[in-house]
Structure 1
Amino acid sequence: MYDPYYRRIDLPAGDLHVFAHDDLYYAMGAKVLEMANNNLQIPNIRYMSYTPDAHVGVGTCIGTTAVWGIEGGFISPSIVGSDIGCGMRVHLTNLQVEDLQEVKLRRKLVKAIEKRIPVENHARGYFSDLRLEDVLRKGLHGLPSKYVPDAYTPRKATSLTHVECGRFRFDESELDRIPEPMWHRSHRQLGTLGNGNHFIEIQALSVNDENRQVAERWGLRDGQVAVMIHSGSRSWGGSVNQICSTQVAKAMSRLGLGTSDPKLAYAPLDSEAGQMYLHLMYSALNYAVANRHLMAFAVRDAFKETFGPKTEFSTLYDLMHNYACEETHGEESLLLHRKGTTRALPAGHLGNPEPYRETGHPALIPGSMGTASYLMVGSPEGARNYHSICHGAGRVRSRNATKQLVSVDEFASSMKIGQEDEVVLNHRALESLIDESPQAYKDVDQIIDSVVQARLASVVAKCRPLAAVKGV
């Protein structure tokens, strides 16, 4: 039977599953199918899919889920992405949207955040008393207790429990492969945002009536102010990707592996190059989750400075959308790659962290700057896509094309500059952010509709932007 939100495409190298409305699918273009066919040439691949936000990337499209068995499996830096561990984090406050009604107050808050989180790409972070080695080895559990403010208040503790994974264990001897200059640079960048599509956004929630009971269990309410953070593993993940991709390419040459795309890197999971990448990737995942946590700690201080010491700031959830990880599906252990896709587990799934076992965990889906973001929860039917959904709106045009096609006035209008409901930005020169304007992205509402109609997940709350901090 015809399904306008799902199709299985028979490519020369194998089947590709696409979860997207017809309009979104046909707008993807032929290049995404060409890239999928290259990916499907990797030996022993079990499954590959695109979510509705899929668009062309390096070696692999953003919006890809790819699955191998552990035995005979392959691992691919290209199907993880260069920003290893890039993901989302959302915190809830005890403030209401009315508390941030004045544009001047939102600007004051943005300045307080900027004071603590540098937006220049190479600036030193707010945190200078951390041991990078502890963060890489232990993730959140390697942070000093003073940066985990609820560690000793069990009833309110969310920092270490409301996360997809706070620590990935790996062979720590692999860390010796990273050169000393990268250690120094990565230490400086702990607690920093980075540029591109990374952001810190202040939002107001609107609960979906159909999932109001779930929202209440999560502590959500209409008009509540929340903070969404999008960032990854900074230069550490970039270094891991660069060093390991070189070793993987050498392994491919020795083993006679390859496709028509020279940028598509992969190696047997049980090879030396595959194991090297796996373990160093886990160190980057530890860096990424700690980096988002540290920024949230800094934002918490900025809120308290702006609104007073009684301001509350609890973790809703932290998750990734660029990684590979061993997961159990059915009774089998599999190696799942997600590049620009988000894990969304339903109620009762054993993979949920304990606080969300009964409801399913929050799936955090950002929109584009100036448009809504979403908090979703996985559906049982999502098992057919290994519980993967979109990771955002997805680009519709390149950065250069956006700069050429979108005017400053169009960008300003989409951000409601000068109006009472202006989305306050930390940059007064809008020219520097045009490549990240809403016009660069697909319609996030259409993306979310495809996910919902494909029965992969449902909406718990919609998040309207109030202010945004972007890097340069």
Structure 2
Amino acid sequence: MSTYLHKVKLPAGDVQVYAGPELFSTLDYKIFEMANNNLQIPGIQFMSYTPDVHVGVGTCIGTTAVWNNGDGYVSPSIVGSDIGCGMRVHLTNLHSSDLKDVKLRRRLVKAIGKLLPMESHQRGHFSDIRLEHVVKKGLHGLPGKYVPDSYTPKKSTSLTHVESGKFAFDESVLDAMPEQAIHRAHRQLGTLGGGNHFVEIQAIEIAEEQRAVAEAWGLVDGQIAVMIHSGSRAWGGAVNQLCTTAIKKTMGRLGLGTADPKLVFAPLDHPDGMQYVNLMYSALNYAVVNRHLIAYAVREAFREVMGSGCELRTLYDLMHNYAWEEHHDKRGSVFVHRKGATRALPAGHPDNPKPYMATGHPALIPGSMGTASYLMVGRPEGEANYYSICHGAGRIRSRSATKRLVTVEEFAGALKVGTDDEIVVNQLSLESIIDESPQAYKNVDDIIESVTGAGLADVVAKCKPLAAVKGAK
């Protein structure tokens, strides 16, 4: 067995852990307690952890869990409360030399902050968009003015360069959503949110061994890219709360449960399981639209500062908190959960979007604020892990511990504050976002080494951070 793959035998079954020897040796024993609880859900076929694994609510972030599609289970805990949370990358026609001036980067960050609402109490700028259309149709429910490239098919990437622009579901389940949640979710369309959500301006550095793939994707050394991390905001939160409450009651009636009362699950063919799956898909629609609208606001900010000729075309948009049906040659139709895990398909896989069929799609892996992010592509060997890889660096300490142990001076040093290479942030006080400092996360290079060492994916490009926009809460 590879030094990057560890099969851990637990009382309830086996969990596969993809991590280098040093990373594996530092894993918290609590993740194995959580794995053992997850493995007690009836009929589970497979479970694994990515190298960025860390403790979550009910289930660890960094989990892939699989059931048969016909008689399997679905778990809101193995999706996460921020349903559809994921990544989006846009490529600009700018070079890093265009943003060499730290004052210009500050102007750009300020412009983004003006056009992009950050917090839950701020209203988005998209009151003319109907929430009903968004949750039912995804990107295809947007008015044409918010998809400016849809009228030029040869240049259009907004609707084609995405993991999925629309998730179909039984729309009758929307009747169960509370009116208050509907209004709140409508106000939050196109807002970033706090925590680990961000917009980051980056400079691309192509990996020489994958230059052909990089060029096929349209990447250029030194090119400015924009990486976005956000999810389904209030809509996903309301779906999670509504369905978790219902499923907990069903578990009691069916005699289901584990040692962890926060781990909730239901049979896929049970009415509560079916309701969750359908409402989850509505949240996936909301999430992809939310990231699209964030990118729309960022595009307007770039044009305001850099001129009307500045463009941001979509490289890719994908999720890392979701569950859905997949077909795997050796296993047939299965229901795959990913919580803090990214799908990375190789060239030729039929689930690739058409533009990426020949290369495999970009897998978007953020680092921590102040460290590099990565664009990766899946390898055929990834089938052993249902083509799941990491979704980021992964926290190494809690928010409270980070605030207690990391100083503002250490944080400022990581951001190179006061130098020409400063990673500009939008917060006046670094103390307000210190829980998101690089010191709160694992070394992303070690995470990437574990993924490549295990043969799951290859690095196509490294993305150096130049500026970051974050909410303070």
The answer to whether the superposition gives a TM-score over 0.5 is yes
Distance 2:368 2:356 in 1: 27
Stretches of structure 2 that go unaligned for 5 or more consecutive residues are none
Structure 2 equivalent of residue 351 of structure 1? 351
TM (normalized to structure 2)? 0.99
Structure 1 equivalent of residue 316 of structure 2? 317
Distance 1:263 1:24 in 2: 27
C-alpha displacement of 1:22: 1.4
Structure 2 equivalent of residue 288 of structure 1? 287
Which AA in structure 2 matches 1:396? I
SS in 1 for 2:465: strand
Structure 2 equivalent of residue 150 of structure 1? 149
Structure 2 equivalent of residue 383 of structure 1? 383
Distance 2:408 2:64 in 1: 36
Which AA in structure 2 matches 1:150? D
SS in 2 for 1:260: coil
Distance 1:324 1:48 in 2: 14
Distance 2:262 2:7 in 1: 26
Distance 1:184 1:254 in 2: 33
Question: Could you list the per-position Cα deviations for residues 429-458 of structure 1 after superposition, in whole angstroms to 9, with x for gaps in the alignment?
Answer: 010010000000000000000000000000
Q: How do 1:218-237 residues align onto structure 2 when only pairs under 5 Å count? A: 218-237=217-236
Structure 2 equivalent of residue 121 of structure 1? 120
Q: Could you tell me whether the CA contact under 8 Å between 1:366 and 1:392 is conserved in 2?
A: yes
Structure 2 equivalent of residue 192 of structure 1? 191
Q: Could you tell me whether the CA contact under 8 Å between 1:139 and 1:166 is conserved in 2?
A: yes
Q: How do 1:89-168 residues align onto structure 2 when only pairs under 5 Å count? A: 89-168=88-167
Distance 1:281 1:411 in 2: 37
Is 2:300 the partner of 1:301? yes
Q: Could you tell me whether the CA contact under 8 Å between 1:406 and 1:439 is conserved in 2?
A: yes
C-alpha displacement of 1:120: 2.4
Stretches of structure 1 that go unaligned for 5 or more consecutive residues are none
Distance 2:241 2:224 in 1: 39
RMSD: 0.6
Is 2:358 the partner of 1:395? no
C-alpha displacement of 1:116: 1.0
C-alpha displacement of 1:121: 2.6
Which AA in structure 1 matches 2:326? E
Q: How do 1:35-54 residues align onto structure 2 when only pairs under 5 Å count? A: 35-54=34-53
Q: How do 1:12-27 residues align onto structure 2 when only pairs under 5 Å count? A: 12-27=11-26
Question: Could you list the per-position Cα deviations for residues 65-114 of structure 1 after superposition, in whole angstroms to 9, with x for gaps in the alignment?
Answer: 00000121000000000000000000000000000001110011111111
Structure 1 equivalent of residue 204 of structure 2? 205
Which AA in structure 1 matches 2:284? L
Distance 1:58 1:72 in 2: 25
Is 2:5 the partner of 1:10? no
Which AA in structure 1 matches 2:137? K
Q: 4+ residue stretches of structure 1 with deviation over 4 A?
A: none
Q: Could you tell me whether the CA contact under 8 Å between 1:32 and 1:56 is conserved in 2?
A: yes
Question: Could you list the per-position Cα deviations for residues 340-384 of structure 1 after superposition, in whole angstroms to 9, with x for gaps in the alignment?
Answer: 000000000001000000000000000000000000000000000
Question: Could you list the per-position Cα deviations for residues 154-174 of structure 1 after superposition, in whole angstroms to 9, with x for gaps in the alignment?
Answer: 110000000000000001110
Structure 2 equivalent of residue 260 of structure 1? 259
Question: Could you list the per-position Cα deviations for residues 10-35 of structure 1 after superposition, in whole angstroms to 9, with x for gaps in the alignment?
Answer: 11101100000111112111100000
Structure 2 equivalent of residue 422 of structure 1? 422
Distance 1:466 1:134 in 2: 36
Question: Could you list the per-position Cα deviations for residues 136-164 of structure 1 after superposition, in whole angstroms to 9, with x for gaps in the alignment?
Answer: 00000000000001001011000000000
Which AA in structure 2 matches 1:52? P
Which AA in structure 2 matches 1:200? V
Q: Could you tell me whether the CA contact under 8 Å between 1:68 and 1:335 is conserved in 2?
A: yes
Percent of matched pairs sharing the same residue: 68
Q: Select between 114-123 and 147-156 the one with higher mean Cα deviation.
A: 114-123
SS in 2 for 1:28: coil
Distance 1:29 1:180 in 2: 41
Q: How do 1:431-442 residues align onto structure 2 when only pairs under 5 Å count? A: 431-442=431-442
SS in 2 for 1:295: helix
Which AA in structure 2 matches 1:445? D
Which AA in structure 1 matches 2:357? R
Distance 1:436 1:226 in 2: 21
Distance 1:189 1:29 in 2: 36
Distance 2:363 2:423 in 1: 24
Q: Select between 171-180 and 20-29 the one with higher mean Cα deviation.
A: 20-29
C-alpha displacement of 1:333: 1.0
Question: Could you list the per-position Cα deviations for residues 388-421 of structure 1 after superposition, in whole angstroms to 9, with x for gaps in the alignment?
Answer: 0000000000000000000000000000011100
Question: Could you list the per-position Cα deviations for residues 228-248 of structure 1 after superposition, in whole angstroms to 9, with x for gaps in the alignment?
Answer: 000000011000001100111
How many residue pairs get matched? 471
C-alpha displacement of 1:118: 1.2
C-alpha displacement of 1:267: 0.2
Q: How do 1:319-338 residues align onto structure 2 when only pairs under 5 Å count? A: 319-330=318-329, 332-338=332-338
C-alpha displacement of 1:428: 1.5
Which AA in structure 2 matches 1:223? G
SS in 2 for 1:58: coil
Question: Could you list the per-position Cα deviations for residues 207-233 of structure 1 after superposition, in whole angstroms to 9, with x for gaps in the alignment?
Answer: 000000000000001000000000000
Distance 2:17 2:462 in 1: 25
Distance 1:350 1:437 in 2: 39
Q: Could you tell me whether the CA contact under 8 Å between 1:138 and 1:286 is conserved in 2?
A: yes
Distance 2:371 2:125 in 1: 29
Q: Could you tell me whether the CA contact under 8 Å between 1:365 and 1:375 is conserved in 2?
A: yes
Which AA in structure 1 matches 2:268? L
TM (normalized to structure 1)? 0.99
Q: Could you tell me whether the CA contact under 8 Å between 1:121 and 1:471 is conserved in 2?
A: no
Distance 2:470 2:27 in 1: 27
Distance 1:126 1:218 in 2: 31
Which AA in structure 2 matches 1:247? A
SS in 1 for 2:26: helix
Which AA in structure 2 matches 1:182? A
Distance 1:286 1:120 in 2: 21
Distance 1:404 1:271 in 2: 45
Q: How do 1:364-379 residues align onto structure 2 when only pairs under 5 Å count? A: 364-379=364-379
Structure 1 equivalent of residue 456 of structure 2? 456
C-alpha displacement of 1:320: 0.1
C-alpha displacement of 1:57: 0.2
Structure 1 equivalent of residue 87 of structure 2? 88
Which AA in structure 2 matches 1:39? N
